[in-house]
Amino acid sequence: MSGIAEASEQAERDPSDGDGDGRPPARTPGTALDPDVCAERSQRLRRRLERLIGIAATEGNALLPLRNGDQIFGAMLKAIRAAEHTVDMMTFVYWRGDIAREFAEALAERARAGVRVRLMLDGFGSRLIEKDQLAMMDGAGVTVAWFRKPLYLSPLKQNHRCHRKVLITDETTAFTGGVGIAEEWCGDARNEHEWRDTHVQVRGPAVDGLAAAFAQNWAECQGELFDERDRFVPGDQHGDAVVQVVRGSSSFGWQDMQTLMRVVLESAEERIRLTTAYFAPDDYFTGLLCAAARRGVEVEILLPGPHTDKRVCQLAGQRHYEELTACGVKIHQYQPTMMHTKTVTVDRVASLIGSTNFNRRSLEQDEEVMLAVLDCDFTDALDADFDADREKSVRIERGRWKRRDVLQRVREAAVVPIRRFL
């Protein structure tokens, strides 16, 4: 029996009469939040984020959460095919399959129609792209750039990848989230071959922040940063959401992405819901989760279960399960397929969504982008997705995990020397 199966056997579904470890049942928040409470919480958190990260939030944004490939790919392709001026796209993963070809054909068609199309691929993550697709796009006039191809890098840059996923069309509509361009993301998470993920469509002033994330990495790869087809149109008001766009870049010392996570975890008063594909935090962030739980915040983490594409990263996170469950954090493992979503919701008023995982690689080493959204309706939609996903998950129960077998403990210990790279 594999280690994955063993870990799942050591889990139980959520009990209805308490936490199974002597703690009383967590208080259940109401389904509706008073508008005045929402406004007060949002404003307080907004000022903390703006002052401590130094990035102004924008007002007047409209956000549409997109669940799984059926919704995500359809919306992205529709935006590409409707573009009349510019298409800028960057992704970590561009692999194989019909969907990869469909994107290549859509980008090539727009380029042939005179639209300025730029595509940036990570030199490591997109190495499996089919060469005939690259040739087709190049022949149509798509400008394809590679971010840090491993063969041409100094040793200091080899480990620092561009993990951002951004699409901007006509400078007015943008997409970001966790999805790569590959057949693994197709479908609606109906079986183990269709990954579960979340993306978001953005309209409004926050599009500029995502465009800047693209431009920052494009500038490293290409000499021409903009041309006459960039109209630099103003960010019109499209909705009521307040959005701060936070970029994470590899460097030495404390990073903005770490500050973002720290602020939302330390600001939580009621509940934190974290969904991540790769959970391998350091001791400091594990401590922040425990500190929140100890002050009465309901902390829930939703992670991949038996279907994970990176078992070594899962083992690095499982090393912290005993400590986290002991302090009251609830950990759920998603059962149907690979859980690739990267979201955080806080106190029913704030959400984080983008490319960042809760691991040291995302927080310290890779190029990432995250939206900090202050909007109760959008947060409620992500919370509803969390509820639905939790129904298909199993709960890591403290007592059983503490009694896990020796082989599982050995596996966890074996990845400790490389945990900072995960």
pLDDT (tens digit per residue) in 135-167 = 999 999 999 999 887 766 555 566 677 789 999
Q: Provide the pLDDT confidence category of residue 190 given band limits of 50, 70 and 90.
A: very high
Mean pLDDT of 82-105: 95
User: pLDDT at residue 12 above 70?
Assistant: no
Q: Provide the pLDDT confidence category of residue 375 given band limits of 50, 70 and 90.
A: very high
Whole-number Cα distances in Å, 352 to 132, 242, 263, 308, 388: 37, 12, 12, 22, 18
User: pLDDT at residue 369 above 60?
Assistant: yes
Are 150 and 123 within 8 A, CB to CB?
yes
User: pLDDT at residue 23 above 60?
Assistant: no
User: pLDDT at residue 246 above 90?
Assistant: yes
Rounded to 5°, angle at Cα 35 from 34 and 38: 90
Q: Which residue(s) pair with 273 in the sheet? A: 300, 345
Q: List CB contacts of 291: < 8 A, sequence separation 6 or more.
A: 266
Residue with tokens 């990267």: 342
Superfamily of domain 31-277+340-391 in CATH is Endonuclease Chain A (3.30.870.10)
409/291: higher pLDDT? 291
Mean pLDDT of 204-227: 92
Mean pLDDT of 238-264: 88
Question: Taking the domains of the chain in order of start, what are their residue ranges?
Answer: 31-277+340-391
User: pLDDT at residue 5 above 70?
Assistant: no
User: pLDDT at residue 134 above 80?
Assistant: yes
In the chain, pLDDT over 70 holds for what percent of residues? Answer: 88
Burial class (CB in 10 A: 0-12, 13-18, 19+), 51: exposed
The predicted structure's pLDDT at residue 20 = 41
User: pLDDT at residue 333 above 50?
Assistant: yes
Task: Give pTM, 2 decimals.
Answer: 0.88
The predicted structure's pLDDT at residue 251 = 63
Q: Provide the pLDDT confidence category of residue 253 given band limits of 50, 70 and 90.
A: low
